[in-house]
Each structure stands twice: as C-alpha cells, then as structure tokens.
Structure 1
Amino acid sequence: MPEIEPGDRSLKDLQGLHLWHAPMSSCSQRVRIVLAETGKDYTSHLIDLAKDEHATPEYQAIHPNGLVPAFVDNGRLFIESVDIIQQIADPGSELSASGSTELLAMADDAQADLKLATFEFLFRGVERSDKESFDTFQQQHRNEWLKQFRRDFASGFEKSRIDAVVTRTDKAFKRLDDLLTDGRRFLSGNTFGLADIAWMPNVHRFSLMGWPFERTPHLKNWFERVSERQSYKEALLDWQNEALTGAFADYTSQRRSEGTDIRTFGSLDG
C-alpha cells in the first residue's frame, strides 16, 4: 500500500517531510538511514512505544494500523517502511538503482519474524507490562493482529512458532550470504542502495540476540562494511537507549548460560 488517505485530514496540509517514528523500531531505523543518506531535512514526531502512544486515537488517525513509522511528504501519507524509503530516495539515484525488488520484498516479509524474535529474545528480559496497561492497550488499539501478538507474548510463544521464525531467518540470511559470494560489496551489486538499508536494522537486531553470523561469513563482512557508514551511526546507533541495550546483552548472556538462547531453536539447534 504505497500511499493512503489519512484519517487525520490535517496531515494533507503539512509541508515538507514529517516522520512519526520510535527510536529502536527497526522499520523506523530504515527510514532514518535513508534520510541520513540523502541528507533530507524532516520534522521528527517521536512515538513512545513503551507508553503505548501508538494505541492512542490520535496516532491511529495517522497510522490506521497503529504501527511505526508513518511518513508524510507534502501532504501525502505513507505507512509501509519499504514504500517510504523508496519515496524518499530520488528516482534514478544510486540508492534507488541498487534497490532490488526481490530483496526489498524479502526484508518486508521478514518483519513479522523479526518482531517475534525481538520480543522473545530481547524484550522478554525487560518487558514489565502491568495489567492495567495491558488491558488499556487491548481496549484502545484497533489492530487485531497486534493485540493478539501482545496476548501471545504474555502467555509465552509456542516453541514450534519460535523454531519456525529462527529457521526462516536462517534461510533468509543464507540467501543474502549467497548473493555476496561473487565478490560484490553490497546486496544489489557494488553500489550501496535501498536493499542494504532495508536489511541493516535486521542484521543489527539479530546481532543483539547473539545470532551466529559465523554461519554466513559474507553477510558478516557486509555488515561490518555498512555499519561503518555515518548514516548507520546517526540514524541507528545514536538513537539507541544504551541502558536498554545493556539489559538486552545481560538477558542474552543469561539465556546462553541457561541453554535457551536463539542458537538452541530451529535450524540453529545442532
């Protein structure tokens, strides 16, 4: 869905670029990276996911699914991160030219798995939602999928579901690794582009979970290259909550010592 009509009609009067985003949202990270790469100015509207600001009626009038990011380009509203990064990148630019449709679609498809893995292997160690907040979210949010996801997280994801997520992710990373075996520096060739931007936050996030990137050495080398870019620092690292990432590291270490970390699921197990 490249462009939608906003529920909040005042968005149509906005001039310039406006981004509703969250600091550690992987889809928000994609958009901030492409904005940094293009050097385009934008007005930032932060959404505090921990306080469930994405469940408010005001925000759901901007993004009908109550997710981040949402992006307005001179009154035109876009709500899917892959569509947004293509909108920001100028047609005919090197960024757009290096934006494989297949790889962008793969990155888009990977988001649901990334979300579940993030909640299981990172947020489970730090998420402390009280019953009142949980009930309010269930009452206010209109996204039935997201509400069910919250319920599933609270009760605990089934092992078979986690196994499937890990196995699909392993398959996707191997596919990316295969693309990089011919000596190319970036995912679509020798020029950095949208395909790289779409996958950078995902690889970063799984690295926080202790993913064994030694299984995909070409992908590991690719990430070392792209993470040296200034846009990675400005749009991703500088937005991280260091206390939170420290808690993630502690939880990942704890699960490793217990034998329940990400390496013990799906195709990574054994």
Structure 2
Amino acid sequence: MPEIEPQNQSLKALTGLHLWHAPMSSCSQRVRIVMAETGQNFESHEVNLERGEHASEAYQAIHPKGVVPALVDNGHLIIESIDIIQHVAGKDSPLMKAASHEILARADAAQADLKLLTFEFLFRGAPAKPDAAVQAFQRNHKNAWLTSFHRDFAAGFDRDRIEQAVARTRDDFEFLDARLSDGRVFLAGEQMSLEDVAWMPNAHRFQLMGWPFQRTAHLAKWFERMKQRPSYRKGLSEWENPAAIAMFTAYSAKRQAEGTGITSFAGLSA
C-alpha cells in the first residue's frame, strides 16, 4: 500500500521529507540507506522501541500498525519500508529501474523471519524489561500480531518455529548467492539498485547472529562490497549503538559456544 490517509491530520501540513524511524531497525536502515544513495535529507523523528514509544497513541496515529518506519513526503504518508524506498528512489531512478519486483518482494517477506530470529538470537540476551513496561505495551499497542509475537517471545519460541525461519533464511541467501554466481557486482547486475538496499540490513543483522556466510561465498563478497559504500555507513553503521552491538556479539558467541546458536538449526553446521 504505497500511501495511506493519516489519522493524524496534522501530518498533511508537513513539508519536505519526515522520517519516523529507529536507529537499529532493519526496515529503517533500508530507508536511510536509500536516502544516502540519492543524497536526500530528511527531518528525523526517532522512535524509541525500547521504551515502547511505538505503542503510544501518538505514534499509532501516524503508523496504524505501530511499527517503524513511516515517511511523510509533503503531507503524503507512506508506511511500508519497501514502498518507502521505492518512493524515495523515484520511479525513473537507476536504483528503481534495475530492481526486480521478485527480489524486493522476497526481501519484504523475509522480514518476519528476520524479526523472529533477531529476538531469539540477539534480543534474548538483553536485560528483561520491567513487568510494568511489558504490561503497558500489551495494553496500549493495537497491533494484535505484534502483541502476540511479544507474548510468544516471553514464553519461548517453539524449536520448530525457529527451524523453519532459519531454513527459509538459508534458502533466501542461497538464492541470492546463485544470483551473484555469474560474477555480477550487485544483485541486479552491474548497477546498484533497490535490491541491494533491501538486503543489506538483513545481511548485517544475520552477521551479528553468527550466520555462516562462508556457505555462500558470492553473497559474502557482495556484502563486503556493500559495507564499503558511504550509504552503508551513513544509513546503517553510524546509527548503531556500540554498547548494544557489543552485547549482541557477546550473546551470539555465548549461544554458539553452548551449541544453541543459529548454526545449530536447519543443518547449518553441516
């Protein structure tokens, strides 16, 4: 859905680009990367997910699903990250023209698994939130899928659910690796495109989890190239919290040492 009618009518009076985002949200990273690639500036509105700001009435009046990112472009509200990056890039831009709808749709579908695996292999190592904060989130957030997801996380995900998410991710990365096996520089060929933008944050997130990218050598080399781009630094790494990255890295290493890390699922250790 490229554009929606805002519940908060004051958004219609905004001029320029306004982005509601979270520093380490993978979908927010996509949008900031394409902003950097296209040289566009935006008015930043950070949403603190740790404090549950996305469950506030004020934010849910901006994004009815209560997730990030959300973009307002001269009064027009767009809420899905794939739609946002296409809008920001512009239909006549090289970034847009070179991109395949199939690859973008696959990146979009991959977000559910990325979320589940992020919570399991990174966020589970974070300090538990106070009961009052957990209860407030459940009470105030209107997105039934998201509140159910958080309850499942607190109870512990079933191993089969994790296995399936890891297997789908493995299939995605093997698909992308095969696409790159002809020696192309970017996912779409010799031209940087929204395909690269859409998948860069995913590769980064799974690297934090200890994903065995040595299994997909072409994809590993692609990601190393992507990390050298100024847009990667400006849209992703400069927004990261070093303390959080250190915590995630340590927790991932602990899980791997215990034999419960991501490589212990879906035959990744084979």
Change (3 A) 1:83 1:127: farther
The superposition leaves residues 229-265 of structure 1 with CA deviations (integer Å, 9 ceiling, x where unpaired) of 0010011000000000000111011111111000001
* 1:18 match: 18
Verify the 8 A CA contact 1:211 1:263 in the aligned structure 2: yes
The superposition leaves residues 46-100 of structure 1 with CA deviations (integer Å, 9 ceiling, x where unpaired) of 0000000000000000000000000001111000000000000122211111221
Give the Å deviation of 1:267: 3.4
Verify the 8 A CA contact 1:21 1:47 in the aligned structure 2: yes
Separation in structure 2 between the aligned mates of residue 99 and residue 62 of structure 1, nearest angstrom = 29
Separation in structure 2 between the aligned mates of residue 215 and residue 17 of structure 1, nearest angstrom = 40
Separation in structure 2 between the aligned mates of residue 81 and residue 12 of structure 1, nearest angstrom = 20
Alignment of structure 1 residues 113-262 onto 2, 5 Å: 113-262=113-262
SS of the equivalent of 2:71 reads strand
Give the Å deviation of 1:130: 1.4
The superposition leaves residues 158-191 of structure 1 with CA deviations (integer Å, 9 ceiling, x where unpaired) of 0000000000000000000000011111111110
Separation in structure 2 between the aligned mates of residue 55 and residue 146 of structure 1, nearest angstrom = 10
**Number of equivalent positions:** 270
The superposition leaves residues 2-44 of structure 1 with CA deviations (integer Å, 9 ceiling, x where unpaired) of 1100010010111100000000000000000000111111100
Verify the 8 A CA contact 1:170 1:267 in the aligned structure 2: no
Question: Which amino acid counterpart does residue 234 of structure 1 have in structure 2?
Answer: K
Verify the 8 A CA contact 1:107 1:199 in the aligned structure 2: yes
Alignment of structure 1 residues 69-80 onto 2, 5 Å: 69-80=69-80
Separation in structure 2 between the aligned mates of residue 201 and residue 243 of structure 1, nearest angstrom = 19
TM-score of the superposed pair, with normalisation by structure 2: 0.99
Percent identical residues = 57
* 2:264 match: 264
Aligned-CA RMSD value: 0.7
Separation in structure 1 between the aligned mates of residue 135 and residue 89 of structure 2, nearest angstrom = 40
Compare 16-25 and 96-105 and name the one that shifted more. 96-105
Verify the 8 A CA contact 1:48 1:54 in the aligned structure 2: yes
Which ranges in structure 1 are unaligned for 5 or more consecutive residues? none
Q: Which runs of 4+ in 1 moved over 3 A?
A: none
Verify the 8 A CA contact 1:25 1:68 in the aligned structure 2: yes
TM-score of the superposed pair, with normalisation by structure 1: 0.99
Separation in structure 2 between the aligned mates of residue 86 and residue 106 of structure 1, nearest angstrom = 15
* 2:97 match: 97
The superposition leaves residues 198-236 of structure 1 with CA deviations (integer Å, 9 ceiling, x where unpaired) of 000000000000000011000001001111000100110
Separation in structure 2 between the aligned mates of residue 110 and residue 49 of structure 1, nearest angstrom = 21
SS of the equivalent of 1:49 reads coil
Separation in structure 2 between the aligned mates of residue 42 and residue 127 of structure 1, nearest angstrom = 33
Separation in structure 2 between the aligned mates of residue 100 and residue 239 of structure 1, nearest angstrom = 28
Question: Which amino acid counterpart does residue 74 of structure 2 have in structure 1?
Answer: N
Verify the 8 A CA contact 1:21 1:45 in the aligned structure 2: yes
Question: Which amino acid counterpart does residue 256 of structure 1 have in structure 2?
Answer: Q
Give the Å deviation of 1:269: 4.5
Alignment of structure 1 residues 45-56 onto 2, 5 Å: 45-56=45-56
Question: Which amino acid counterpart does residue 87 of structure 1 have in structure 2?
Answer: H
Separation in structure 1 between the aligned mates of residue 83 and residue 267 of structure 2, nearest angstrom = 31
SS of the equivalent of 1:50 reads coil
The superposition leaves residues 97-153 of structure 1 with CA deviations (integer Å, 9 ceiling, x where unpaired) of 122101100000000000000000000001411111111101000000000000000
Separation in structure 2 between the aligned mates of residue 91 and residue 170 of structure 1, nearest angstrom = 31
Question: Which amino acid counterpart does residue 147 of structure 2 have in structure 1?
Answer: K
